[in-house]
Amino acid sequence: MNACDVGRERVHAFFDEVGDGPVPESLQSHFATCAGCRELFDELTILRAALRARPAPPMPDDALEVVWERTVRAPRTGWLDGRRRAAVAAVLVTGVSLSTLWLLRTTSAPSGPTPAEIARAEAQADIVLSYAARAIQATRTATTHRVVGSKISPAVRGDVPSDSRRR
Position 5 contacts another protein (CB under 8 A): no
Position 75 contacts another protein (CB under 8 A): no
Position 1 contacts another protein (CB under 8 A): no
Q: How far apart are CA 142 and CA 140, in angstroms?
A: 6
Identify which range of 29-37, 39-47, 85-93, 108-116 contacts another protein by CB under 8 A.
39-47
Binders in 13-32 for another protein, by CB under 8 A: 15-16
Position 154 contacts another protein (CB under 8 A): no
Identify which range of 36-44, 101-109, 126-134, 140-148 contacts another protein by CB under 8 A.
36-44
Residues 6+ apart with CB under 8 A from 11: 3, 27, 37, 40, 41, 44
Q: How far apart are CA 126 and CA 122, in angstroms?
A: 6
* Count of Cβ atoms closer than 10 Å to residue 29 Cβ: 10
Which residue of 6, 18, 35, 67 would you call a contact of another protein, by CB under 8 A?
A: 67
For the chain, how long is the longest CA-to-CA vector? 167
For residue 159, give the amino acid letter: D
- Binding-site ranges for another protein (CB under 8 A): 12, 15-16, 40, 42-44, 46-48, 50-60, 63-64, 66-67, 70-72, 83
